[in-house]
Structure 1
Amino acid sequence: MSKTAASVWSNCLEFIQDNISPQAYTTWFEPIKAIKLDKSILTIQVPSKFFYEWLEEHYIKLLKVSLQKELGSDAKLVYSIVMDQNISKKDPYTVKIPSSNKEKLKPQELNAPLHLESSKVKNPFIIPGLQKIKIDSQLNIHFNFDNFIEGETNRLARSAGKAIAKRPGGTSFNPLFIYGGVGLGKTHLAHAIGLEVKEKHPEKTVLYVDMQKFIQQYAEASRSNNRNDFIHFYQMIDVLIIDDVQFLSGKKGTQEVFFHIFNDLHQRGNQLILTSDKPPVDIQDMEQRLISRFKWGLSADLQAPDYDLRYNILKHKLEKDGMEIPEEVIEYIAKNIKTNFRELEGALNSLMAQSLLNKKEITLELAERALVTLIQTQRKEISIDYIQKVVCDYFKIPLEKVQSKTRKRDIVQARQLAMFFAKKYTNASLASIGTQIGKRDHATVLHACKTVKNLSETDKVFKGYVDDLRRKISAE
């Protein structure tokens, strides 16, 4: 019976499987396909150039012995690299296996990531002409866990971040996908995780990069024909933090490259931390396979801070800056500035500035005057809480009923209307709307919006409800 590529490789795999751990075999040999046999030359297809390099570094002896058993001492192995074919010209790597078979074969264990010498890979973060051996993490030392105050609205994400810092890549939170609106602490938390990883695991390479920078680097690498260097650089990272991943939307070429980098890092147990202004399911024009991978680990929502968290943030900032102001002023700011951390701290800074410039002691009266414009602006912003209150008042239904699990028709109708107007008048994601209105998922919100739209077109009474509520909400 004549030999085929499949039969030769199948026999090689039997030998290889007997000499390595099951995990190593599954990870590094099951994805390989034999695609061509030409006399003593076997061509195998591997997922990436990194895959080829790992095999060469860790399993060359095993490959040599197994292939020589099948094809003799003149055996050659040719690698066909899938990823390089997609992003560059076809560039198979041919390896001639030495004829000597005197070296003792030892079982190999997959127990270390690839570490390429920095001189061999172009670092996209280094200015041309400057030498730098270590990779700069790009982390902001001021964004740490000490000043990331915990509250009900961020506890899940913060706890997951702490767990990752202890065992990066060793928890089920991989990737950790942090999402939420502007100024809610996504970037701060991402930096804090990276800083704590560096502190606890100084041997690990940590890198923070915002997605727009990543896109810019890839475009430059493509223009200068350094795409492989770009990919290999990111494959060296143990903990990769990508901020504002939603900017990958619509960037097909960059999505393809990021998909391969993500797969490579995840496959080797390296940690990925991603942030976005919306949950994975709400990101438009993104490849489904990427969306799917974003959901592999934990998606943690950062919501607008509640009163207790706002109060604690103000107290922490005052203590850090060595400042004291009356308790009633702290409570006044915490009660009236509700949107996000940036505006909360901005209000405090504005009050401090007014006090210094006018040489006046900080009092509640000064706070009311100094912050009147900011607070009036905030009150004009329509919130999900406000929408729920208007809907509940209109139908004379207690808020707790709308928030409950009941399926009574009038309650469901009020809940659906609240969801519809929340989507219409706020920038909140579907998932965030669902969480705040009865702890529903994004699919429930989407269904509610469609139901309200359909009923408005077919039911005159229901359309009257919608028109009344629209006027009440927009007249705030």
Structure 2
Amino acid sequence: MDSLEIKQIWEDTKSYLQGKLNEAEYPWLNSFYPTGYTDGTFTVITDMQLAITIIRKNCLGDIKSALKHVTGHDVEFQIILDKESTKKLKAERKKLEQKFKKINTEEKTDNPMLQMTQMQSNVNLNLKYKFENFVVGENNKNACAIAKIVAKNPAERYNPLFIYGGSGLGKTHLMQAIGHYAIFNLPRKKVKYIKTQDYVNQYIESTRGKDSREMMAKFRQRFRNVDILLIDDIQFIESKKQSMEELFYTFETLQQLNKQIVITSDRLPKDIPTLPDRLRTRFEMGIVVDIQPPSFETRMEILEKWTKDTLIDIPLDALNFIAQNFINNVRELEGAFNKVTAYSDIEGKPITLEFVKDVLKSETLSKKITINNIAQTVAEIYNITVDDLKSPARSHNISEPRRYVVYLAREMTQLSYQEIADYLNKKHTTMLYSYEKMVEDTDRNIKLKETMRELKQAIKCNAV
């Protein structure tokens, strides 16, 4: 097979993957240059070690499926780090771009599978969030079983489905898995996924301007002309009175039309402040299921699955260390795994227990840090008491350190906004606003950014 044919296979493969991989993954494919296709193995080279790590971790299965679709055969995918050869091949890409652009356009028009992946992209689903990628344990087995029933028989049972649990436990994964199942198995069902904050922003936008009536009609059509509505993180609708009113009528419309609604939240409906009773009772009228933090056994199963999917060799004692130290949710477990594999690739070192301990030493130290450590350190530095931070006082000498505590608690612990609010005797929404404002301020104010760095160092010293 000549080099032009090999390059065309790769371009067709990338075209196939364009709707399948998310925005954080797909661009890395452009750092790969195809060099061979022999004995059932397709080989690419790159000069970017990090690209190899990310693609191996997240996309190997999708790339193999795409190559099989393009070539008609099972294909192994091999990535080689070769900086010198990659430099030579970069110059050739521009000469072929125009030709492949035409080929890819024709492929998209005729290929129903590509149209399916484009539907996924339009619905804004992450392809990793499928049922087959969800590791089931005691902490989530009921939620997973019910989600599968809903996916296979939308609006027949468990409507609405309300999934709640802490951050990073898999609520969004299960919700989007329902969407993926419907797209591929119930193609006539129209699916809509939306984050609550985006829903609120779109609602506000539709009420502004001279054409607000027309914009509102389009907004309602967008969310009411669907078969399956997926609303993520509904807790962020609290205190948004008009948005809640609009959501109530959307909910009523879909219920009357016998359409499926799936909702996620970090707490029970009854624990969402300012949520009207009529919305709360409707959220609860189907079924409410929870997801708990994964057990040690489930965390080990997740890590072992990742090592198998990425073909990365990590000894059992190293996996044990990660599983024992990252216990709160799957998101932080994945962050630790990604950091270890990335550092291994970048430094060219094998992954051992000692290597993992060294790479994750700052994260494991942070496990010792509590919000009480943070509050005590900040209070001491600013000559106030922890009780002052928890009080209703709004004077600058107390409110300013208080917002430092909120920011540092979000940065240095895994606490949710609600947990921070409970500690400081404040509202959840106040904590959310305070943190977001601090993020903006530290980006703009170098002096404040340095203050936060110094406070973090002081807190770490006090926690040891």
Q: TM-score range by the shorter chain?
A: 0.5 to 0.7
Q: Cα offset for 1:137?
A: 2.0
Say which structure, 1 or 2, has more relative contact order (CA 8 Å, 6+ apart).
2
Q: Cα offset for 1:287?
A: 1.1
Contact 1:218 1:254 in 2 (8 A): yes
Q: Cα offset for 1:245?
A: 0.8
Q: Distance in 2 between matches of 1:378 and 1:135?
A: 37
Secondary structure at 1:242 match in 2: strand
Q: Distance in 1 between matches of 2:148 and 2:120?
A: 25
Which residue does the alignment assign to 2:141? 155
Which residue does the alignment assign to 1:463? none
Structure having the higher Rg? 1
Seen in structure 2, the aligned counterparts of structure 1 residues 330 and 260 have a Cα distance that, compared at 3 Å, is same
Counterpart selection for 1:360 from 349, 353, 361: 349
Which residue does the alignment assign to 1:138? 124
Task: Give the partner amino acid of 1:212.
Answer: Q
Secondary structure at 2:122 match in 1: coil
RMSD (Å) for aligned C-alpha atoms: 2.7
Counterpart selection for 2:238 from 240, 245, 249: 249
Contact 2:167 2:416 in 1 (8 A): no
Q: Distance in 2 between matches of 1:245 and 1:230?
A: 18
- Cα deviations by residue, 1:143-194 (Å, 9 ceiling, x for unpaired): 11121111111111111110011100011x1111111111111111111111
Seen in structure 2, the aligned counterparts of structure 1 residues 475 and 379 have a Cα distance that, compared at 3 Å, is closer
Seen in structure 2, the aligned counterparts of structure 1 residues 370 and 136 have a Cα distance that, compared at 3 Å, is closer
In the alignment, structure 1 segments of 5+ residues that lack a partner are: 1-131, 384-424, 434-473
Q: What pairs with 1:62-211 in structure 2 (closer than 5 Å)? A: 136-171=122-157, 173-211=158-196
Q: What pairs with 1:432-447 in structure 2 (closer than 5 Å)? A: none
Contact 2:313 2:351 in 1 (8 A): no
More divergent stretch after superposition (251-260 vs 230-239): 230-239
Seen in structure 2, the aligned counterparts of structure 1 residues 338 and 299 have a Cα distance that, compared at 3 Å, is same
Secondary structure at 1:380 match in 2: coil
Matched, 1:332 2:318: no
Secondary structure at 1:379 match in 2: coil
Counterpart selection for 1:300 from 269, 289, 292: 289
- Cα deviations by residue, 1:73-104 (Å, 9 ceiling, x for unpaired): xxxxxxxxxxxxxxxxxxxxxxxxxxxxxxxx
Q: Cα offset for 1:323?
A: 1.2
Q: Cα offset for 1:427?
A: 4.7
Q: Distance in 1 between matches of 2:351 and 2:308?
A: 16
Task: Give the partner amino acid of 2:138.
Answer: E
Counterpart selection for 1:311 from 300, 314, 320: 300
Q: Distance in 2 between matches of 1:286 and 1:177?
A: 15
Matched, 1:370 2:359: yes
Q: Counting helix residues as a fraction of each chain, which structure ranks higher?
A: 2
Seen in structure 2, the aligned counterparts of structure 1 residues 229 and 428 have a Cα distance that, compared at 3 Å, is closer
Matched, 1:218 2:203: yes
Which residue does the alignment assign to 1:286? 275
Q: Distance in 1 between matches of 2:248 and 2:353?
A: 53
Contact 1:282 1:429 in 2 (8 A): no
Q: Cα offset for 1:233?
A: 2.8
Q: Cα offset for 1:382?
A: 8.0
Task: Give the partner amino acid of 2:136.
Answer: E
Contact 2:165 2:266 in 1 (8 A): yes
Contact 1:179 1:301 in 2 (8 A): yes
- Cα deviations by residue, 1:397-428 (Å, 9 ceiling, x for unpaired): xxxxxxxxxxxxxxxxxxxxxxxxxxxx9659
Secondary structure at 2:317 match in 1: helix
Structure 1 outlier segments of 4+, above 6 Å = 132-135
Contact 1:279 1:429 in 2 (8 A): no
Which residue does the alignment assign to 2:85? none
Seen in structure 2, the aligned counterparts of structure 1 residues 475 and 372 have a Cα distance that, compared at 3 Å, is closer
Q: Distance in 2 between matches of 1:280 and 1:157?
A: 16
In the alignment, structure 2 segments of 5+ residues that lack a partner are: 1-117, 373-413, 423-461
